[in-house]
A = this chain, B = another copy of it.
Amino acid sequence: MNIIINQRDFLEGIQIVNRAVSNKSTLPILKGIYLETVKNRGLKLIGNNLEMGIEYYINAEIKEEGSIVLPAIELSNIIRELPSAAEISFVVDKDLYQVDISCLNSDFTLKGYQADEFPQLPDIEDALKIKLKALNFKKMIEEVKISTSTDQTQPTLTGGLMVLHEKNLSLVTTNTYRLAYSQMEIEENFEEEFKIILPGTTLNELHHLIENDIEKMDIFINNSYVRFNFRDIIFISRLIEGKFPNYRQVLPDNFKSIVKVDRIELLNAVKRVSLIARLDSNVISIKIDQDIMSIDSSSSEYGKAHEVIEVELEGPEQNIDIDANYIIDVLKVLDDEIVKLLMISPLNALTIKKQSDENYIYLIMPVRPGS
């Protein structure tokens, strides 16, 4: 391989595929980035940690074709420190599996690995295909990824369930103490319900990689993998096998009280009360009586906090004890000025919805007094 490549393009490409590079694999080659010249397309970069893989193309002037795998951290450090937007000469010695990187007065030799030992991304054949508005999907991911579990003994809960049914795509996550559900309309119509579980890291990386100027995304799904195409990025993820809990049966609908409240006011009040709550069990008590919501917490060692905000209540007065972080997370992620809190009793979940639409549902299980 002998190519001329622009520092800025190269660095951007490295940073994109780097998100799928393993940093703790025992197989050294998986800590590397695969590079290959492709006629009329430029330089192909791949990062692949076997759970997740990213392929990306950048422009390059190809003088001689070839391929190599280079250690990702060292390659990215070197390219980052080279003069911004300068032309880089990148010449591979295919016998020594090393590259000579020259740029103005800088000259690096970096040792790598044989390209054909690198695991290529899997083909996804016989795939089901969906077209999406990428930014809507990004927002959905943001709204649900807060509720994934970190408990590795229940792998399905560490991911997000994606359900395709009729003209709807929905994402669901739960750690059993809270649940987030978000849905959007799609063009395709699935008469039979189709479900997969996406790993939590895939949700996080997708959320990061979908930039705000990206409009369209294609999704391809088979039994083991899902592929996302957007921009010049191909993002492939393994699916989580197993059964996701039946979320429908926990979604309440017989609400007794509906509270409308200013999202930012509630967020700031809960954040302040949580300063005391987190010194103990992180539990806050919410009480709504007529137009007043009071939020309280106390710590035997440090003291107590009390906040009051004005709300609009339909239905009887209510009170509930919940984990402060669970409500902070959702209030941070929503955009609406006003949110709705829906309640049945102190022993039922607190449900949070947007004021604007019914596409989002967030449940928080109550903490039982004394538990």
Contacts and interface: CB of A to CB of B under 8 A. Distances in A.
Contact of A269 (B78, B105, B302): B105
A207 interface: no
Contact of A272 (B106, B109, B305, B307): B106
A135 interface: no
Contact of A275 (B81, B107, B271): B81
Nearest to A294: B105
B74 A275 contact: yes
Q: Which of A71, A105, A111, A276 has the most CB of B within 10 A?
A: A105
Contacts of A71: 302
A298 to B, nearest CB: 8
Given A81-B272, A81-B275, A302 B110 contact: yes
Contact of A107 (B78, B106, B307): B307
Contacts of A98: 303
A154 interface: no
A217 interface: no
A309 interface: yes
Given A81-B268, A111-B302, A302-B111, A106 B307 contact: yes
A82 B98 CA distance: 57
A108 B305 contact: yes
A305 to B, nearest CB: 5
Most chain B beta-carbon contacts within 10 A, residue among A82, A276, A301: A276
B301 A106 contact: no
B308 A77 contact: no
A304 interface: yes
A109 B77 contact: no
A277 to B, nearest CB: 12
Nearest to A82: B272
Given A98-B303, A105-B269, A108-B275, 16 more contacts: A78-B272, A78-B275, A78-B305, A81-B268, A82-B272, A105-B309, A106-B269, A106-B272, A106-B307, A107-B305, A108-B304, A108-B306, A109-B303, A109-B304, A110-B303, A111-B303
